Amino acid sequence: MQNTGTRSPATTPTHCPYCALQCGMNLTPVGGGTVEVSERADFPVNRGALCGKGRTAAQVLAPGVRLTSPLVRSQGGALVPAGWDEALDRIAGSLGRTRARYGADALGVFGGGGLTNEKAYALGKFARVVLGTSQIDYNGRFCMSSAAAAGTRAFGLDRGLPFPLEDVPRTGCVILVGSNPAETMPPSLRYFTELRENGGTLVVVDPRRTRTAEQADLHLAPRPGTDLALALGLLHLVVAEGRVDEAYVEERTSGWEEARAAAMAHWPEHVERITGVSVPELREAVRLFCAPEAAMVLTARGPEQQAKGTDTVGAWINLCLATGRAGRPLSGYGCLTGQGNGQGGREHGQKADQLPGYRRLTDPAARRHVAEVWGVDPDALPGPGRSAYELLDALGSDVRSLLVMGSNPVVSAPRAAHVEERLRSLDFLAVCDVVLSETARLADVVLPVTQWAEETGTTTNLEGRVLLRRRAVTPPEGVRGDLEVLHALAGRLGVEKGFPVDPEEVFEELRRASAGGPADYSGIDYRRLAREDGVFWPCPAPPPHGGPALRAAVTPPPAAGDTAPRADTAPRPDTAAPGAEDAAAPYPGAPTPAAGGTAPHPGTPRLFLDRFATPDGRARFVPVAHRPSAEEPDEEYPVLLTTGRVVAQYQSGAQTRRVAELNAAAPGPFVELHPRLAARLGAAEGDPLAVVSRRGRAVAPARITTGIRPDTVFMPFHWPGEGRANTLTNPALDPDSRMPEFKVCAVRVEAVPR
């Protein structure tokens, strides 16, 4: 229900539970368990606009939609209601027995990119301190891990967007690669519309003519899996046409000669043969990108969800660096994060190789810092574990028991039928969720937990803006928070302290754990978030009593020639020597302390304007070369499959598929194909088609359109059952990010008799 009227005294300003825009909204209880969603025009990201998912988000709060009692597997095999003590005892007992018999790494933890920062932090701590396992990862690995790896490699630091969205309409050109914000985050489309109204240009790279591509000045439709060659071809033309910003390259980068040589091996005609994008289109894209003074490249899952995703994103970053389009006002590379807290979810310990504050788990100084906050021996912390798909693939063999919190891998993981089989083979599975998802249906114990409007916590949106999501309604009786679950399980497993249930108390510990790290939240607190529209990290705490700053050891000095520090300066990663945290110059960007006190850090909306977060302050070119996808078409599987989302559903659909209005708009899966392919199959609109890969078979009705390449079919991945797109997808992994190749695999398409 939506209401745009005056806010009532009972109205709570908060944020949408879905995508990484984290749109502002107001919630007002109206009795009978009903909650009204209304516009919140004062929040700068969406400025009141809400998509259909946001407008209907409160419907999932209804008791008839969501879980309200723990469920346990009976001797007869059914899930039956149980009390909380029985359910928690069963989980703790099973985890304890598994650890005693097989060791700590036989326990796995799988988290979610929708968890608040507090829950993500507590879950990572629980895995490493209570369970002692290295086997923790989360579904955000399937989101933007390739962009994170490429950004860290080039810039020394990863944040989805290193600038706020408000900069997008003010730049001169945006190349949008493998992103369809018109359907995945509709309120953001206004930024691209305003870009064009302001005289800027939009180039969209996508094998489909999506709703977003229809808005573009130029649409490039490469063959799936060839984005890397496309970026290299554009860079070749930049060099050949004399468009390199030589002064910028000399002053602010390193490694150009090697990257240049790699790009020159990808001449336009060669790239045209690989990608299907014509040479005139390549030249026009370069002209549009290089003509204005400022420009941006924004990527999303298209180029990232590939077994060469890190190199692909790296090639687009190289294009930005060669043209001087990074670390300058209104210019840069950014990633449009997908999940609601995909950014914060990996910054604070859910990821297999990271500790809070975006610290590296292999860094001795980082281990000492976090261990001190946690009150444990650094040597007791386990090392890096398996990435998400590798963890799921190990279930039932090396990993015998699994705790899942906020994820539905039965639908969302690649090679999903195999993942479902692995989940069924576990000795024990526990799932914490709001609804009885397809993964929860396989569990031995299901715990009903609070959701967005029933709890307070912070999230970090795609801009790196830390937000306070406020509790607006009381959860139903029988439902508990994830922090309560972790507190109760920790106590049952012998750890009585260190797992508070108050989210603000958890956030205060998170601040200390992140202090001095690349993602420094130490200067942010709930009081500040309650009165501001979010705070951009890094935001270090001010020096205590005018003394040394907490983050001095991990912040670079001002760039040569600077006479004063700047707020828009990125920190370096954890490269400080042991003990350097006691050293001490104030951090760059620290405001002048007020008389008699110390002013708070303003936050960092724009990164890299003075220097990059590398030891020498320079961005790094990385030479890359095109290579084929892990699975190319052949006689048996002659067509390419790519997957994605539709506007009315979200991720695995566990929540949106329970909203009637959204189901009416998008009732089920489909196979999108070109009329020429449909004619070869003898298929008409709505006819059932089987899409078959080396991993399985999915069946869905045909949707025929000229907006897709004739050699490609598209399926959305929101549904389980026979139309489950991820039954087909390839788990081949990127060697750096460990991202599976969701976006391209070889299939054949068959007509199915009605």
Average pLDDT over residues 542-552: 52
Alpha-carbon gap, residue 10 to 31, rounded angstroms: 11
CA 93 to mean position of chain CA atoms: 33
Q: Is the pLDDT of residue 710 over 70?
A: yes
Q: pLDDT tens digits, residue range 206-241?
A: 999 999 999 999 999 999 999 999 999 999 999 999
Alpha-carbon gap, residue 188 to 192, rounded angstroms: 8
Pick the residue with more confidence: 676 or 30? 676
Alpha-carbon gap, residue 663 to 719, rounded angstroms: 11
Average pLDDT over residues 704-729: 97
Structure token pair of residue 615: 């030891």
Q: pLDDT tens digits, residue range 159-184?
A: 999 999 999 999 999 999 999 999 99
- Domains annotated on the chain, with CATH: 12-61 (2.20.25.90), 71-143+342-512 (3.40.50.740), 146-335 (3.40.228.10), 639-751 (2.40.40.20)
pLDDT value, residue 9 = 56
Q: Is the pLDDT of residue 431 over 70?
A: yes
Alpha-carbon gap, residue 411 to 671, rounded angstroms: 17
Q: pLDDT tens digits, residue range 83-114?
A: 999 999 999 999 999 999 999 999 999 999 99
Q: CB neighbours of 749 closer than 8 A, spacing ≥ 6?
A: 639, 671, 673, 677, 681, 689, 690, 691, 692, 713
Average pLDDT over residues 273-282: 98
Q: CB neighbours of 201 closer than 8 A, spacing ≥ 6?
A: 172, 173, 174, 195, 217, 218, 288, 292
Q: Is the pLDDT of residue 553 over 70?
A: no
Q: pLDDT tens digits, residue range 478-501?
A: 999 999 999 999 999 999 999 999
Q: Are 11 and 37 in contact (CB under 8 A)?
A: no
Average pLDDT over residues 552-556: 30
Q: What Å distances lie between residue 540 and 347, 544, 586, 728, CA to CA?
A: 15, 12, 10, 45
What share of the chain has pLDDT > 90, as a percent?
A: 88
Average pLDDT over residues 140-157: 95
Alpha helices in 555-705 (DSSP H): 660-665, 675-681
Average pLDDT over residues 612-640: 97
Average pLDDT over residues 586-596: 35
pLDDT value, residue 596 = 42
List the Cα angle 604/483/160 in 5-degree steps: 25
Instruction: Report which of 364, 443, 452, 453 is spatially closest to residue 110, judged by C-alpha positions.
Output: 443
pLDDT value, residue 31 = 77
Q: Are 391 and 403 in contact (CB under 8 A)?
A: no
Burial class for 753, CB neighbours closer than 10 Å (0-12, 13-18, 19+): exposed
pLDDT value, residue 169 = 98
pLDDT value, residue 265 = 97
Burial class for 615, CB neighbours closer than 10 Å (0-12, 13-18, 19+): exposed
Alpha-carbon gap, residue 215 to 571, rounded angstroms: 37
Pick the residue with more confidence: 382 or 555? 382
Structure token pair of residue 434: 């709001």
Cross-strand pairs, 445 = 72, 430
Q: Are 625 and 265 in contact (CB under 8 A)?
A: yes
φ, ψ (nearest 5 deg) of residue 28? -130, 115
pLDDT value, residue 367 = 97
Strand spans (E) along 293-348: 296-299, 332-335
Name the band, by pLDDT with cuts 50, 70 and 90, for residue 411.
Answer: very high
State the Cα torsion 55-60-63-69 to the nearest 10°: -160
Sign of the C-alpha dihedral, residues 341, 346, 348, 350? positive
Average pLDDT across the chain, whole number? 91
pLDDT value, residue 551 = 36
Alpha-carbon gap, residue 561 to 611, rounded angstroms: 12
Of 33-47, 481-495, 657-671, which gets the smallest average pLDDT?
33-47
Name the band, by pLDDT with cuts 50, 70 and 90, for residue 559.
Answer: very low
What share of the chain has pLDDT > 70, as a percent?
A: 92
Average pLDDT over residues 443-459: 96
Q: Are 471 and 454 in contact (CB under 8 A)?
A: yes
pLDDT value, residue 3 = 36
Q: Are 58 and 27 in contact (CB under 8 A)?
A: yes
Average pLDDT over residues 449-462: 96
Alpha-carbon gap, residue 748 to 750, rounded angstroms: 7
Q: What Å distances lie between residue 409 and 354, 387, 539, CA to CA?
A: 21, 14, 34
Q: Three-class SS of residue 136?
A: strand
Q: Are 109 and 133 in contact (CB under 8 A)?
A: yes
Pick the residue with more confidence: 7 or 577? 7
Alpha-carbon gap, residue 210 to 181, rounded angstroms: 10
Q: What Å distances lie between residue 292 and 215, 231, 239, 319, CA to CA?
A: 19, 19, 17, 15
φ, ψ (nearest 5 deg) of residue 341? -125, 40
Q: Is the pLDDT of residue 315 over 80?
A: yes
Name the band, by pLDDT with cuts 50, 70 and 90, for residue 63.
Answer: confident
pLDDT value, residue 548 = 42
Peptide bond into 538 cis (omega under 30): yes
Q: Are 748 and 692 in contact (CB under 8 A)?
A: yes
Structure token pair of residue 157: 């630091």
3-state secondary structure 371-385: HHHHCCCHHHCCCCC
pLDDT value, residue 552 = 30
Buried b (16+ CB within 10 A) or exposed e, 49-70: bbbbbbbbbbbbbeeeebbebb
Q: Is the pLDDT of residue 586 over 80?
A: no
Alpha-carbon gap, residue 471 to 487, rounded angstroms: 20
Of 215-219, 248-252, 336-340, 369-373, which gets the smallest average pLDDT?
336-340
Other C-beta atoms closer than 10 Å to the C-beta of 633 total: 18
Cross-strand pairs, 702 = 671
Q: Are 623 and 617 in contact (CB under 8 A)?
A: no
